[in-house]
Each structure stands twice: as C-alpha cells, then as structure tokens.
C-alpha cells in the first residue's frame, strides 16, 4: 500500500486528489491549515488529516513525523498549497509581494527539503509539484503569481537532476483554469482606482476577464487534475511535465510555436 502526502488538501485540487488516491487504495496524508474544520476525511480509514501551514516550519516537521509514524513510509509528496494574486504591481505592498513567494515558492521548497531525508533513507520517492499553465504563459496583472510559478518550474527542473541521483523522481503538473476556490477565496486583489493612469487598462482587462469567466467551457473540474496527478504517480515513466486542460495545452502550444513578439501582442490585444 502506497502513501501520498498532500499540502493544501482542504479544497479544490488538493481535496479532489485526496479522494482520487484514497478511492484507489492509497494511504493519504491530507494536510491543511485548519484540520479542525474537516468533517469528511476524518471518517475515511486510509486518510490521515494533519495540520500543516507551509509558512510554518514547525507544522511541516510535526506533520511529517506524525505521517511517518502512522504509515511508516511516504512514497509521493504533492506540493499543492498555493494561492493567486491579481493587481497592479505599483499598488502591491511589500507584505503582499513577499507572501506570494512565501507560500507558493519558499513553502514548497521548505516542504520538499523536509521530505528529502525520508525519501533518501527509503532510497526512492517522488515529488510532484503543482505549477500552472501560468508557469509557462502569462496574463496581465498577475505578475507576482506568474513569477512564483515560473520559480516553481525552475526549481523543479533543476532539482530533478540531483534527486535523480537518489532515485527520487520529480514531476510537474501544469493545470489550465480549474473550477475551484482559486479565483475566489484563494485570490488576493490589489487594484486602486486612485491610479487614474491605469484606469483604461484595468477597466478593459477586468471586462475581458469577466467575459471569459462567463463562458461555460472556461474551467475544467479539479477531478481531471487529480486523475493526471494519479497518472504521474503511477505511470512508471520519466515524463516530467503534465499539462492539464485544453486551454493550457492550446496556450502553451501557441507560445512555444509562435514568434515571441507576435505572441505577446496577441495576449495584450486579447485583454484590451
């Protein structure tokens, strides 16, 4: 029986992944910031619910120790916890800027570092990081989120070389728009109407975004990401990247196969 350790398991992609692996007989360590609010997972035998905030090193260490004590061995770490930011960089506070990286980048790196001694002592392991199509392509007003996910991409690629020497595989998931709480409670906005100079730009951008979000095909269900994570964990291949969703496939393909200036102009025009 294999074990997966998941961060950000309270909702969305993390939650769907807990269910997907548990239904297939895996032990699942479902970590979250507020485990006292969890009512469903605590009733499932092979799911262990633990407190973990990726910004708090002590909660990482405690959760890991408890998980190893309960299941003996962890086979896969899924770094999923994360949130988004949207707004004008001139308006973002230093705290908002740093926190985007504290959670999406440093939290992921700290979690990974904490897990590696266990993987090394097992002489095997797998690290699956949730990036985003936003780790490959960019949209206006999401500079902090995109730069955090570009960092996750670079970290994952580079660390894969040294971890291969320890029989630890690294995989990266790049979902497109997924129907979760991400655009709601997991999105921090910083726009400021007082900055008149940006007004035409932000009004046009937010209008286009609103139109896009109304389209029924805008977002895929989180279960398709869970299914892809399961495939990544079990397919036995050395495939590194898994792109999820038609929007992500189309945009990444377009970026990789179009002249860069032309591509950036297309995106700018799309949102203006």
Ligand X SMILES: NC(=O)c1ccc[n+]([C@@H]2O[C@H](COP(=O)([O-])OP(=O)(O)OC[C@H]3O[C@@H](n4cnc5c(N)ncnc54)[C@H](OP(=O)(O)O)[C@@H]3O)[C@@H](O)[C@H]2O)c1
81 binds ligand X (CB under 6 A): yes
Binding mask 196-225 for ligand X (x = CB under 6 A): ------------------------------
80 binds ligand X (CB under 6 A): yes
Q: Please identify which residue in 22, 30, 32, 86 interacts with ligand X, judged by CB under 6 A.
A: 32
- Give yes or no: 136 in active site: no
* Catalytic residue selected from 10, 132, 145, 147: 145
Of residues 37, 46, 43, 41, the one with CA closest to residue 14: 41
CA distances from 260 to 23, 108, 254, 267 (A): 44, 30, 10, 11
Tokens in use for 49?
């619910």
> Is residue 153 a contact partner of residue 136, using CB atoms and an 8 Å limit?
yes
Q: Please identify which residue in 4, 12, 140, 146 interacts with ligand X, judged by CB under 6 A.
A: 12
Nearer to ligand X, 123 or 215 (CB): 215
Q: Please identify which residue in 103, 137, 168, 243 interacts with ligand X, judged by CB under 6 A.
A: 103
Tokens in use for 223?
């279960």
Burial classification of residue 84, based on how many CB atoms lie within 10 Å of its CB (0-12 exposed, 13-18 middle, 19 or more buried): buried
- CA torsion angle for 215, 228, 38, 5 (degrees, to 10)? -150
Q: Please identify which residue in 2, 55, 88, 96 interacts with ligand X, judged by CB under 6 A.
A: 55
> Residues interacting with ligand X, by CB under 6 A?
7-8, 10-14, 32-34, 53-55, 80-83, 103, 107, 130, 132, 175, 177-178, 180-182, 186
């Amino acid at each position: 029986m294999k074990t997966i350790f998941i961060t950000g398991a309270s909702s969305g992609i993390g939650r769907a992944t807990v269910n997907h692996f548990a239904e297939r007989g895996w032990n699942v360590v479902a970590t979250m910031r507020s485990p006292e609010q969890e009512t469903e997972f605590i009733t499932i035998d092979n799911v262990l619910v633990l407190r973990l905030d990726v910004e708090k090193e002590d909660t990482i260490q405690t959760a890991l120790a408890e998980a190893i004590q309960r299941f003996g061995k962890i086979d896969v770490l899924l770094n999923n916890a994360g949130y988004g930011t949207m707004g004008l960089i001139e308006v973002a506070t230093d705290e908002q800027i740093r926190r985007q990286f504290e959670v999406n980048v440093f939290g992921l790196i700290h979690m990974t570092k904490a897990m590696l001694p266990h993987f090394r002592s097992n002489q095997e392991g797998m690290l699956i990081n949730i990036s985003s199509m936003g780790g490959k392509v960019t949209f206006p007003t999401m500079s902090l989120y995109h730069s955090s996910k570009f960092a996750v991409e670079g970290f994952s690629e580079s660390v894969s070389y040294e971890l291969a020497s320890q029989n630890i595989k690294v995989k990266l998931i790049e979902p497109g728009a997924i129907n979760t709480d991400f655009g709601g409670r997991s999105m921090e906005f910083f726009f400021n109407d007082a900055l008149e100079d940006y007004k035409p730009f932000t009004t046009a951008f937010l209008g286009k975004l609103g139109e896009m979000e109304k389209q029924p095909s805008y977002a895929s269900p989180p279960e398709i990401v869970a299914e892809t994570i399961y495939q990544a964990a079990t397919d036995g291949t050395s495939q590194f990247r898994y792109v999820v969703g038609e929007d992500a496939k189309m945009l990444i393909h377009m970026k990789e196969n179009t002249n860069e200036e032309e591509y950036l102009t297309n995106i700018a025009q799309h949102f203006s």
